[in-house]
Structure 1
Amino acid sequence: MKPIILLDVDGVLNPKVHRGDGDRPDLHLSDAKVALVRRLATKGRIAWVTTSPADVVAGLDAQLELDVEPLRVKVEMRDSDAEEPTPKLSSVARWLERMEASGEADWDSVVWIDDVLGPDVHDWAHHLNQPVLLEKPVPEQGLTEAHVVAVQVFIDGGKRRKTDSL
């Protein structure tokens, strides 16, 4: 399997925020998080799922120096999304549908790593026409070795069934 890996920033990568040029902060990842994201990027295509501005995320891209530039899910938070258990779910679902409709979806499974995944995401995952792995890091720790191993097991298993590890 070659998944799209939907990756949140805050609560997952937990970058340190430094004063940047102008009004924008600079985000800096720990060496451990950089290594984990680079390993994930060898397993599938990374797509940022964050409300952080594009130029801030571009700083993460530069720091990671990945072979393939990550995609960016356009997170359009509507008022009703704030009340949902998984506020980014409707944005992610719309983005995946647009990518598939335009023929740009070259993945055969979905991995979503986010610290805010509620029970509604399970129903969505079970109705998606591709296998799905959901990983929900504890925000204080963020992405860990265990999450990367879970992604590897999911990919190596190659099972054509819906999966989640919440």
Structure 2
Amino acid sequence: MKPIILLDIDGVLNPKVRPSDSDSRGPQLSDGKVALVRRLATKGRLAWVSTSPTDVVAGLEEQLQLEVEPLRVPLAMKESDVDEPTPKLRSVARWLDRMDAAGEADWDAVVWIDDVLGPDVHEWAHNYAKPVLLEKPSPDQGLVEAHVVAVQVFIDDQGGWRSGRRALT
């Protein structure tokens, strides 16, 4: 099995709006980000964890041309979530639990790449039933080679998975 890779968009992929004379529509990813996301997609099942509008996400998926369509984590955030160190944590935890209970969680670990990961998510990851890797890109650079390498090292660390050790960044 492979991990589920929870992937944010803003602050991680940082799509840009191209000039209107371009034949592309909507925000576009740089060639470098496309290559990194495609590499991630070979390492596990992608799932969007983003507040970006559905049409933006669909446009990015069209640009990425992945073999397996990413899942989408519904973010049913409450006003109080905005004040939390990791505002998406409640929604992500609920979605993962629901997928597991429904027998649809065919992954053996969780990778979460988001520019807004607070101390609360580290506690959650430590107590989660499966190994968790947290990667927090800086919002100005977003996803870089080092993050993809960290995911690969986490995946390759089979002995760490069996012993229950969790890799946290």
Please tell me the TM-score bracket, short chain as reference. Answer: over 0.9
Partner in structure 2 of residue 45 of structure 1: 45
Which residue of structure 2 aligns with residue 150 of structure 1? 150
Q: What amino acid is aligned across from residue 129 of structure 1 in structure 2? A: A
Q: Structure 1 stretches of 5 or more lacking a match?
A: none
Distance 2:80 2:100 in 1: 25
* Aligned counterpart, 1:3: 3
The CA deviation at 1:53 is: 1.7
Partner of 1:85: 85
Identity %: 72
**Cα deviation, residue 77, structure 1:** 1.4
1:31 is matched with 31
In the other structure, the counterpart of 2:94 is: 94
Count the aligned residue pairs: 162
State TM-score, norm by structure 1.
0.93
Kindly provide the amino acid, as one letter, of the partner of residue 96 in structure 1. Answer: L
CA positional deviation for 1:27:
1.5
Measured after TM superposition, the shift of residue 19 of structure 1 is 7.8
Which 4+ stretches in 1 moved above 4 angstroms?
none
SS in 1 for 2:77: coil
- Secondary structure of 2:6's counterpart equals strand
Shift of 1:162: 3.9
Counterpart contact for 2:154–2:167, Cα < 8 Å: no
Deviation at 1:18, TM superposition (A): 4.5
Output one character per residue of 1:29-78: Cα deviation in whole Å (capped at 9) or x when no partner. Answer: 00000000000000000000001122210111100000000000001110
1:9 is paired with a residue whose SS is: coil
User: Would the aligned equivalents of 1:85 and 1:119 in 2 still touch at CA under 8 Å?
Assistant: yes
CA RMSD of aligned residues (A): 1.4
User: How far does the alpha carbon of each residue in 1:85-144 deviate from its partner, in whole angstroms, 9 at most, with x for none?
Assistant: 000000100110111111110000000000000000011001110000000001100000
Query: In structure 2, do the counterparts of structure 1 residues 19 and 84 end up closer, same or farther at CA, with 3 Å as the change threshold?
Result: farther
Matched residue type, 1:76? A
Contact 1:2 1:44 in 2 (8 A): yes
Partner in structure 1 of residue 71 of structure 2: 71
What TM-score do the two structures reach when normalised by structure 2? 0.92
SS at match of 2:111: strand
* Secondary structure of the structure 2 residue equivalent to 1:108: strand
Amino acid at match of 2:141: Q
Q: CA contact under 8 A between 1:130 and 1:162: conserved in structure 2? A: no
Q: 1:135–1:147: 8 Å Cα contact kept in structure 2?
A: yes
